[in-house]
Chain A
């Protein structure tokens, strides 16, 4: 009788530890979001949105508009390149080329963000004499999130049921028409959710922007001027001793977290819908 009992104890211990591990995953996520929001909500006043950061005036307008400008730029640059690249990997590339391009694109995602920032500084800010600028920030961020968009786009197209492709071939449609009329509608939600998730990541980045976009107390005023962003406010202000500026750091972090959560849930919602859509199509 002693052997089975001991194994019961061991099994109980094992699953108990697994349960503790799960708690250790969920608890920090909950605590981070709740504690940042708890610090941020009391200082989220309308003035943070209506005023810019200048002197003792504590506003976030420039950071919010700057983050939006950066996101828009990233969406245009990384979105265009990434979606086209994903489309090529899924629809046109010979398997061997696709495998290699995919591999290196994924390795690109492993480049540390501060290295991307340094390269942006050396090549764009100094090398091309762009100085600290919105455009340099956009390109640095784009390099960082391009691999995500490539992967999600490729996945969105390659998970369109084969029956649809065969139907298009049977109808004698050209490749271009097949992509536009047959593959794009079911793949689109997946592509969009990939873009949304990529935006969530780019909204939260700091390191690649420090030495490319630098920072600005004014609203974005052109591609070749420096620009502010929310994560930069948090990064700078939390290191200052004044509790008033630290409150602004929390406010900026709170707005960032809300934006990122919104994007993540939107992306997840679209993904779930598209999965259901595709499941219904597969005959």
Chain B
């Protein structure tokens, strides 16, 4: 967990005042070189967006709006000698690129994950900051760092081989029996590879982002406000409800948006666990796919497309994913700017 020390803004201004002092020639070279380096991350962001737009353009023209509504994804007959043309762009015969089931899978998995991860993260962070003494809480928070550092392919392996089979045998049957109340829970539970297992593992993956941010925010709640509440005779629970949680609410929203962005873009773990079948699953336990997983699993096949349209279609999927996750990310960072700078973790929440 990376966080800025309190009073950073003030220190920043002071640093700038100091930097007005005379610069030697060596200093100027260092400043110029490091300035170039500092422009590389924003430049990369622009470059990535540009490459995706250019690569997706033929597919955008070919598909039009049907990209968002289509429920068929077919690279077409890659051995054909003829092509079909649509809106002036050529593709192999029978080619169709619809994204609807993938968009559904992406939002379904990431929203279920978010729904579970937010209360668990906030509850766990409250426990660590308000109940457990610092001496024990600090070593326990190492587990957040470990969760953040575990590779996504390992999450995938665990989900497929350990967690999925376990939960499908012991928990899903009970959930499925609620099927006559909630239709989406009805039907076969399978062996643990599917939409719900992917969502659960995603929840575990985004917990470190939300929980570690919440923990930092909780530790910044002014002690005087809490003591005031206690002095009024409030219990620890009432203090948490009336003072602490409202104080950090905006920060939790921002961290949740970042966690959501990460869940939207997760590739390998979801690909291994969800079963990667192009369809909207019949129930919550069924196989499906997401945008990210579909790109990773089909790009190899698309490379055989002599018109190149398959690769462009996957670029359009990638562009859509990029747009969604950047918007979520931006929203989170803009929200948090109003509360306190430098609190939000970068990327995975390490």
Taking the complex as formed, is B94 at the interface, i.e. its CB lies under 8 A from any CB of chain A? no
Taking the complex as formed, is A108 at the interface, i.e. its CB lies under 8 A from any CB of chain B? yes
Chain B residue at minimum C-beta to C-beta distance from A260: B149
Chain B residue at minimum C-beta to C-beta distance from A123: B51
Taking the complex as formed, is A224 at the interface, i.e. its CB lies under 8 A from any CB of chain B? no
Interface of B is mostly: helix
Asked whether A84 lies within 8 Å of B38 as measured between CB atoms, the reply is: yes
Chain A residue at minimum C-beta to C-beta distance from B266: A112
Q: How far is the CA of A111 from the CA of B45 in the complex (A)?
A: 8
Taking the complex as formed, is A130 at the interface, i.e. its CB lies under 8 A from any CB of chain B? no
Asked whether B123 lies within 8 Å of A18 as measured between CB atoms, the reply is: yes
Asked whether A112 lies within 8 Å of B347 as measured between CB atoms, the reply is: no
Chain A residue at minimum C-beta to C-beta distance from B31: A92
- Interface size class for chain A? 35 or more
The residues in A between 88 and 114 inclusive whose CB is less than 8 angstroms from any CB of B are 88-95, 98, 100-101, 103-114
Question: Which residue of the partner chain, among A81, A169, A210, contacts B40 with CB atoms under 8 Å?
Answer: A81
Taking the complex as formed, is B236 at the interface, i.e. its CB lies under 8 A from any CB of chain A? yes
Question: Which residue of the partner chain, among B124, B295, B322, contacts A24 with CB atoms under 8 Å?
Answer: B124
Which residues of chain A are near B52, meaning CB under 8 Å? 115, 118-119
Which residues of chain B are near A166, meaning CB under 8 Å? 18
Asked whether B24 lies within 8 Å of A89 as measured between CB atoms, the reply is: no
Taking the complex as formed, is A116 at the interface, i.e. its CB lies under 8 A from any CB of chain B? yes
A and B contact pairs by CB, cutoff 8 A, 7 listed = A11-B236, A119-B48, A122-B55, A148-B2, A148-B347, A155-B4, A235-B153
Chain A residue at minimum C-beta to C-beta distance from B22: A174
Taking the complex as formed, is B80 at the interface, i.e. its CB lies under 8 A from any CB of chain A? no
- Please tell me the number of chain B residues within 8 Å of chain A, measured between CB atoms: 107
Which residues of chain B are near A159, meaning CB under 8 Å? 5
Q: How far is the CA of A143 from the CA of B44 in the complex (A)?
A: 7
Contact with A along B283-326 (1 / 0, CB 8 A): 00000000010011001000000000001001100100110011
Which residues of chain B are near A249, meaning CB under 8 Å? 157
The residues in A between 244 and 283 inclusive whose CB is less than 8 angstroms from any CB of B are 249-250, 253, 256-257, 260-261, 263-264, 268
Interface-centre pick from B39, B157, B314 (highest chain A CB count, 10 A): B157
Which residues of chain B are near A122, meaning CB under 8 Å? 51, 55, 311, 315
Asked whether B149 lies within 8 Å of A201 as measured between CB atoms, the reply is: yes
Contact with B along A107-149 (1 / 0, CB 8 A): 1111111111111011100000000000000000001101110
Indicate whether A147 sits within 8 Å of B35 (C-beta atoms), given known contacts A18-B127, A175-B21. no
Flag the segment in B9-17, B84-92, B182-190, B222-230 that touches A. Answer: B9-17
Asked whether B37 lies within 8 Å of A268 as measured between CB atoms, the reply is: no
Chain A residue at minimum C-beta to C-beta distance from B43: A104
Residues on A facing B (Cβ under 8 Å)? 7, 10-11, 14-15, 17-22, 24-26, 28-33, 35-36, 39, 80-82, 84-85, 87-95, 98, 100-101, 103-119, 121-123, 143-144, 146-148, 150-152, 155, 158-159, 162, 165-166, 169, 174-176, 179, 194, 197, 200-201, 203-207, 210-211, 231, 234-235, 238-239, 249-250, 253, 256-257, 260-261, 263-264, 268
Instruction: Report the 7 A-B pairs with minimum CB-CB distance, sorted nearest first.
Output: A204-B151, A112-B265, A21-B123, A11-B237, A110-B329, A84-B37, A88-B34
A158 to chain B, nearest CB (A): 6
Taking the complex as formed, is B74 at the interface, i.e. its CB lies under 8 A from any CB of chain A? no
Question: Which residue of the partner chain, among B12, B147, B235, B292, contacts A11 with CB atoms under 8 Å?
Answer: B235
